[in-house]
Chain A
């Protein structure tokens, strides 16, 4: 697996199919692990999805005193192991992206695992599969690079040129979440 979860926020239409679908994944216990939020509903309907970055050096795993958060050989950061998690919630505070969720009934953390039971067989995760707007995609590294280049190219085609102070507007907005072992 050398695929990337590629997020393009502005494509998102706020349908939350990604969350409904997350509940359907095999090991997910009918609980979604991803997020969709309004940027600011008073201003606009723009929403964006958020999911685990699958950090290379995951803060959640680092701060776990029980070593409950395992990282697979492909680099996927899994949910806490049931038998190890002591329910301290360090991970929920440690993650800089606010990703891990906490099940107060079971006293256990759970989080996005990139649908590991699918992705380990190269089948796309549920959220990326269903997302109608392709705000979430599960693609090859090369395709990601191509998409990034194309974003910039589109701006140039429209005759816009970066100027002092707005160069960042030309940088593709994206998040690549990927694993890199091959």
Chain B
């Protein structure tokens, strides 16, 4: 189970009485390599040791990674199933908890049909588990209502990539090539805080003279050193991308040969971008004309460039448009499919990439197959051992599931690896929806805000108590090792799902003794699909420092770079995006005169259910704050540290002010890692992107009030 791997010549500290287990961080998509220190006598996790020879991260970690091990033996761990009796959680046996779940599930389905149950998954867990969530919902429960927290994370990137390139691999190139890139165009990514260890590659490239262009309403650590900081208004990315493309065309920076051979829609794109003169673009985005022009020239002149974006551009009602347009910038320059150039999104969650490929999404099946495609349904039904007619139809997206709970279409919910009452937009609505449920089951290892509402809480394991694979930010499938046995009576999610399946009479479809068997089934299920894992094995991962998908055959080494010859669209050509700027769903008014945007801080991960419990991280950032420009603060006569009230039509919150010039004067920023009265998601907008169904977390107008003495 445990293995300590290092390349020759690499020294690590191994203390007396301890052993190291080689694995990766549990948090963000960087999936930094690390060794976990285990006391050989007590078999307890005691610390961390850098993994200097992991190819992507070279021993580097952010403070979340350094302290990740502290969640394993944490005093807050849930060690036995909890059943709510008279409003209080009471510890119970697994049998009692499973009995209750079985009875309730069966009763609900008997009275209200199969689709009265639903499953809400997450992607901060292994491919094996993510894959099984889809199978659990569709085979064990037989419900169509299944979606996952990746809807709030990667869905717009997925939508944009599928539309333009025909396939959604988060990065078209391996990130170890980034040091050779001449220019980075980064939009809506605070990568220094959200993916800190990626910085080594950007700084390395910068040491060699690479240019950096950053589009962000805030002067982030990357924007601070950028050659151009495009300080755009939230919600104006499509105007900016169109504006840059206008200039690329005007100044002859287009790689005509590439575009002619490999792309569709150039004529239409030219027409669409015609009106996006620097002046027009500047009016919409709030960026000065000079900066836009300077950025276009730097980007246009760079022989090797990578266009990158993250939630800032994606969590908008125009998220898919933004991704398609930014991707098109790379296409116009003929960059995709070449060395040290291309396009990439920053995957937020540890397995945000793998977790979205294998059928946790309401309309997808493993291998990125579509649930609406009869052939795909037939193939997967075969792998799962069910009849194609038994396969449930597509359901609805994450946020829309809550509407169905409110109107009682959905009556039972199983939340696995997620905390939607913190991470959803407009959470007051989400709370109301969950209160309407007849039965809520939550699997987690800490009592999250969502778990507090549950009827049954099932104790899951942390990442260190189970083996499996994840797929990192690059599309590289990597190996997570089991470090210790599950704590208390906790069980890995795959085992929990299998146990419930058993109770629902579907046990024969869930006969797994270890994750490797699930992975082998996943390999088969993904075979021939776009995200083809058939050629990925645990052994190959260890041998060659991970395997990039697609890897269609057993002797295939994997595909570090994609789209070298053709794109994954039907005609093999990329579809350049022809999209106008639409503007965010909500507009400013005299009542709500400031823009609110949200994001992360380096010390916390997602809903904070894990990181808010870790000493060092909590000390560094114990509560949310609202970041604002001194000019705005002066207009409201508030000082640093003073508490103010923020209000949108959906809710309000009181937060202390943090004053800095490193943000636009008309925008305020609040990090989202806290729940209840500290949650900025009480305020955020649930308006959805029409294609990806991604909510517009990043843009909404807000009212700011000084509190009366």
A and B bind? yes
Residues of A within 8 A of B (CB): 10-11, 13-17, 19-21, 23-24, 26, 41-46, 117-118, 121-124, 126, 129-134, 150, 154, 157-158
- Residue-by-residue, is B187-213 near A (CB-CB < 8 Å gives 1, otherwise 0)? 000001100111110010001010000
Which B residues lie within 8 Å of A126 (CB)?
50
B232 within 8 A of A: no
B661 within 8 A of A: yes
Q: Report Cα–Cα, A46/B660, bound state, in Å.
A: 11
Q: A13-B221, A44-B219, A45-B221 in contact; A133/B200 too (CB < 8 A)?
A: yes
B13 touches A17 (CB 8 A): no
Closest chain A residue to B12, Cβ basis: A123
A13 touches B199 (CB 8 A): yes
B662 touches A19 (CB 8 A): no
Selecting from B59-67, B149-157, B177-185, the interface stretch reads B59-67
Most buried by A among B52, B63, B66, B198: B66
Q: Report Cα–Cα, A20/B192, bound state, in Å.
A: 16
Among candidates A15, A122, A134, A150, residue contacting B11 with C-beta atoms closer than 8 Å: A122
Which B residues lie within 8 Å of A158 (CB)?
209
Q: A10-B225, A17-B66 in contact; A129/B207 too (CB < 8 A)?
A: no
Supply 27 A–B pairs (Cβ within 8 Å), ascending by A: A13-B192, A13-B196, A13-B199, A14-B602, A17-B60, A17-B61, A17-B65, A20-B66, A20-B617, A21-B66, A24-B66, A42-B630, A42-B640, A42-B659, A42-B661, A43-B661, A44-B661, A45-B220, A45-B224, A121-B13, A122-B11, A129-B60, A130-B61, A132-B61, A132-B198, A133-B192, A154-B207
B15 within 8 A of A: yes
- Residue-by-residue, is B13-34 near A (CB-CB < 8 Å gives 1, otherwise 0)? 1010000000000000000000
B660 touches A42 (CB 8 A): yes
A117 touches B13 (CB 8 A): yes
Q: Report Cα–Cα, A24/B620, bound state, in Å.
A: 16
**Whole-angstrom distance from the CB of B363 to the nearest CB of chain A?**
37
A154 touches B12 (CB 8 A): no
Which A residues lie within 8 Å of B197 (CB)?
132
**Whole-angstrom distance from the CB of A11 to the nearest CB of chain B?**
6
Which B residues lie within 8 Å of A45 (CB)?
219-221, 224, 660, 662
Count residues on chain B whose CB falls below 8 Å from chain A CBs: 43
Q: Report Cα–Cα, A9/B42, bound state, in Å.
A: 41
Which A residues lie within 8 Å of B616 (CB)?
19-20, 23
Which B residues lie within 8 Å of A134 (CB)?
200, 203
Closest chain B residue to A24, Cβ basis: B47
B48 within 8 A of A: yes
Among candidates B11, B209, B219, B662, residue contacting A123 with C-beta atoms closer than 8 Å: B11
Q: Report Cα–Cα, A158/B210, bound state, in Å.
A: 12
Q: Report Cα–Cα, A131/B52, bound state, in Å.
A: 12
- Residue-by-residue, is B37-67 near A (CB-CB < 8 Å gives 1, otherwise 0)? 0000000000110101000000111110111
**Whole-angstrom distance from the CB of A34 to the nearest CB of chain B?**
13
Q: Report Cα–Cα, A14/B221, bound state, in Å.
A: 8
**Whole-angstrom distance from the CB of B208 to the nearest CB of chain A?**
9
Which B residues lie within 8 Å of A46 (CB)?
221, 224
**Whole-angstrom distance from the CB of B200 to the nearest CB of chain A?**
6
Which B residues lie within 8 Å of A23 (CB)?
616
Judged by DSSP, the binding face of A is loop
Which B residues lie within 8 Å of A19 (CB)?
63, 616
Closest chain B residue to A41, Cβ basis: B660
The 6 closest A-B pairs by CB, nearest first: A20-B63, A13-B192, A20-B66, A129-B50, A13-B221, A132-B196
A131 touches B60 (CB 8 A): yes
Q: Report Cα–Cα, A122/B640, bound state, in Å.
A: 45
Which A residues lie within 8 Å of B602 (CB)?
13-16
Most buried by B among A118, A122, A130, A158: A130
Closest chain A residue to B46, Cβ basis: A24
Q: A43-B661, A134-B203 in contact; A129/B52 too (CB < 8 A)?
A: yes
A123 touches B661 (CB 8 A): no
Q: Report Cα–Cα, A129/B52, bound state, in Å.
A: 8
B224 touches A44 (CB 8 A): yes
B60 touches A16 (CB 8 A): no
B60 touches A132 (CB 8 A): yes
Most buried by B among A13, A118, A150: A13
A132 touches B199 (CB 8 A): yes
Which A residues lie within 8 Å of B630 (CB)?
42
Q: Report Cα–Cα, A134/B201, bound state, in Å.
A: 10
Q: Report Cα–Cα, A16/B207, bound state, in Å.
A: 22
Q: Report Cα–Cα, A117/B15, bound state, in Å.
A: 10
Interface positions, chain B 209-251, Cβ under 8 Å from A, are 209, 219-221, 224-225
Which B residues lie within 8 Å of A13 (CB)?
192-193, 196, 199, 221, 602
Q: Report Cα–Cα, A20/B603, bound state, in Å.
A: 10
- Residue-by-residue, is B254-294 near A (CB-CB < 8 Å gives 1, otherwise 0)? 00000000000000000000000000000000000000000
4 new A-B contacts, CB < 8 A, other than A43-B661, A133-B200, are A121-B11, A123-B13, A130-B65, A131-B60
Q: Report Cα–Cα, A17/B661, bound state, in Å.
A: 25
Which B residues lie within 8 Å of A132 (CB)?
60-62, 196-200
**Whole-angstrom distance from the CB of B584 to the nearest CB of chain A?**
26
Closest chain A residue to B197, Cβ basis: A132
Most buried by B among A24, A45, A132, A157: A132
Closest chain A residue to B57, Cβ basis: A132
Q: Report Cα–Cα, A20/B65, bound state, in Å.
A: 9
Q: A13-B196, A21-B66, A45-B219 in contact; A129/B11 too (CB < 8 A)?
A: no
Q: Report Cα–Cα, A163/B609, bound state, in Å.
A: 54
Which A residues lie within 8 Å of B61 (CB)?
17, 21, 130, 132
Closest chain A residue to B202, Cβ basis: A133
**Whole-angstrom distance from the CB of A173 to the nearest CB of chain B?**
14
Closest chain A residue to B621, Cβ basis: A16
**Whole-angstrom distance from the CB of B604 to the nearest CB of chain A?**
12
Q: Report Cα–Cα, A45/B662, bound state, in Å.
A: 7
Closest chain B residue to A18, Cβ basis: B63
Most buried by B among A10, A45, A158: A45
Q: Report Cα–Cα, A181/B610, bound state, in Å.
A: 45
Q: Report Cα–Cα, A43/B219, bound state, in Å.
A: 10
A154 touches B59 (CB 8 A): no
Most buried by B among A118, A126, A157: A126
Q: Report Cα–Cα, A95/B128, bound state, in Å.
A: 54
B13 touches A118 (CB 8 A): yes
Which B residues lie within 8 Å of A10 (CB)?
225
A15 touches B63 (CB 8 A): yes
- Residue-by-residue, is B636-674 near A (CB-CB < 8 Å gives 1, otherwise 0)? 000010000000000000000011111000000000000
**Whole-angstrom distance from the CB of A131 to the nearest CB of chain B?**
7
Closest chain A residue to B603, Cβ basis: A16
Among candidates B15, B52, B196, B219, residue contacting A17 with C-beta atoms closer than 8 Å: B196
Among candidates B48, B66, B196, B203, residue contacting A11 with C-beta atoms closer than 8 Å: B203
A17 touches B199 (CB 8 A): no
Closest chain B residue to A12, Cβ basis: B221
Which B residues lie within 8 Å of A17 (CB)?
60-63, 65-66, 196
Closest chain B residue to A11, Cβ basis: B203
B62 touches A15 (CB 8 A): yes
Which A residues lie within 8 Å of B12 (CB)?
123
